[in-house]
Amino acid sequence: MAIQSQTAHSTALTLSDGSPLNISVPGEDKRMPFSGGTFADYYFAGFLRNTKISKPDKDIKILGISSVTFNEVSYKASDGTLGDVNALTETLDTTTHPDRAILKLYNGRGFNVYLRSATLDGKMIYQYSGEAGELIHDSLKRDDDIRRNGETVFEIGNEYIVDATQCASIADFWYKFLGKKKHLYALPIPGSAPWYNVGDWYNLQVGEADTNEYIDTVVECYAVDVEKSAGGIGSTTLLLRDVEDNWSKTTLYATRLATGGSPKRRVNRSNIVTVASSEYDGAYDYKCDGTDDDVQIQAAIDYVSNTFGNGEILLTNGTFKITSMISVKANITIKGSGSQSTIIERDGDIYGISVLGSAGNLVSSFNVYNIGVIEKTGNTTTKPLYRISYAGDFLINNCSASGSNGSGFQIAYSENSTISTCVATNCANATTLTGLHGIIVAASTSVNVLDCVASLNGGIAGNGTGIFVTSSNYCSVSESVASNNLSAGIFIGDSGYCRVVNCVAEGNTLSGILVGLTDGASGCSNSTVSNNQSTQNTENGIYIYNSSSTTVTANACFSNAVNGIEINADSDNNVISSNTVMSNSAYGIIINNANCDTNIVSSNRANSNTSGNYADAGTGTTATGNDFT
């Protein structure tokens, strides 16, 4: 029987739940015409006489076919000569159809041939879908092992395991790891040695090379027995077993990933997910490779947010290199292992860590802990390393920002939140753009900067205030340090009811603490500056400029290059009380403008200031109970 067809012939292979596929072509010859050596999709009936073509009971996805051999015998159609074995070329398509594999035969001989017989042997590798979608069944099975131990099913969490080679590698590993007998060793050690860890790998060497008793192998520790005795040093016994020589620790961890994998494929899923840096050596849910690590971090955030609505993203120690910003979502905590241990390196014109809400739609109840964000060397963006906009009820704790041309932390249009125990250093280094600072709080309400450090910020004049609060109300800066910044140490401008309490401002190029704003602006009102130490600044220790109803009390201002405390511009109804002001290069306390009305100066101590301890050019000032000797 000759079947007229194009060059390529295809047929469907039955899937049979892991049983071998032994498919043969008996009986009648099949004609394979040659038409220029091109493929064409053509199906013909009867090629596999006894093959049932049907979808199995369970939904599956074919991943590959293993141990495939295809043998055929063909001969020249015109005269029956040139009998040959394996004259045709075959390909196996396991991707086009979800329920079958397609065999394609190609006649490239240059003339028509008859296919007399053919045999295809192989086993399918496939993945369940539907309700059984959590599992991949490995058909590379050992019948003797199955009889003894039953069939092993892998729980796969990593969607990147997609082909037969990967499945075969996992199956091969587990066969070697669990199926073959291992040498076991009991190694006694004098004294207590609790630092050996179960699961770790060690090199075991016993005896000397080229001797009968020589052992040099890699072993896994599977038990540690530590005993102590009264009056003795105790003993430790390590129970060890061989590790396959052709498997390395790196491969082991890759297999752990393959069999643990992405949390969205787990049966028991958790809203706490670990993202590992490229150099991290331990358990994780997502693994970064040191390139575009933002992809894995963002995938983890999106997974937890979309699946549970809340949860934690744990970043391991190591450096994460990002080229797109990391966007934190509401009710999500992103947590590193320490601001010096978990480092995010920014590369490109992007924010590092960002939360970007919108007017009337605040992103709330998120947290960022224990992370350091740095600038890649040579990156020139002036965007902040942390950008929080239109957000509320959040905490940024124990984080750092360093080495940036832009600001370190920028919080805007936000409310009821805290940035605590954070460090901004060597930021705002741009030389062509002003308005960049270490920590910025702008247009916000009830945002607190607590126990932070801002130092060495600023690239040109106008940049580099350590902590900069503007156009905000009911905000505070407390227990923080602002030192050696190119502009002021701490600035409160165009704001109301703000507080600077228990801070240190030292060695800044402008004033240590500045409350107010430039001429023509509205300045500040009802602010409090108390219990601070402001020393060795290039201008004033504390500068109240164009502000009213400010309380400046119980501060210490020493050794500043201009005045200890200065009131200037249109500053009215301020109270300067109980401050200690000494050894400043100009005045201790000075009211320096006739437009400063009805200020109160009381119970202060000012001594050893170069130009004088007190001067008053204001209008209606009340000065009582001061020590200006």
Condensed to tens digits (0 to 9), the pLDDT of residues 70-114 reads 666 666 656 666 555 566 677 666 556 554 556 666 666 666 666
Radius of gyration of the chain (CA): 37
State which amino acid sits at residue 299. Answer: A
Looking at residue 143, the DSSP 8-state letter turns out to be H
Transcribe 360-413 into DSSP letters: TB-EES-EEES-EEEEPTT----S-SEEEESEES-EEES-EEES-SS-SEEEES
Q: Where residue 38 falls among pLDDT bands split at 50, 70, 90?
A: very low
Report residue 242 CA to chain centroid gap: 35
Q: Domain-by-domain residue ranges, the chain?
A: 9-133, 181-243
CA gap 534, 483 in Å, rounded = 10
Q: What is the pLDDT of residues 498-543, one digit of tens each?
A: 999 999 999 999 999 999 975 445 689 999 999 999 999 999 999 9
Looking at residue 520, the DSSP 8-state letter turns out to be T
Q: Where residue 43 falls among pLDDT bands split at 50, 70, 90?
A: very low
CA gap 581, 535 in Å, rounded = 10
**Number of residues written out for the chain:** 629
Strands 30-32 and 135-137: unpaired
What pLDDT score does 257 carry?
A: 42
Q: In this structure, what token pair is assigned to residue 408?
A: 């370190």
pTM assigned to the model: 0.63
Across 201-221, average pLDDT: 70
Whether the pLDDT of residue 326 is over 90: the answer is yes
Average pLDDT, the chain: 78
What's phi and psi for 383, nearest 5 deg? -75, 150
Provide the sign of the torsion angle of the four alpha carbons 609, 610, 613, 616, taken in this order.
negative
Q: Where residue 39 falls among pLDDT bands split at 50, 70, 90?
A: very low
Treating both helix axes as pointing N-terminal to C-terminal, what angle do 249-260 and 164-174 enclose, rounded to 10 degrees?
110
What pLDDT score does 164 carry?
A: 58
Q: 119, 147, 122: which is closest to 18 by C-alpha? A: 122
Looking at residue 14, the DSSP 8-state letter turns out to be P
What pLDDT score does 242 carry?
A: 74
State which amino acid sits at residue 330. Answer: A
Report residue 177 CA to chain centroid gap: 32
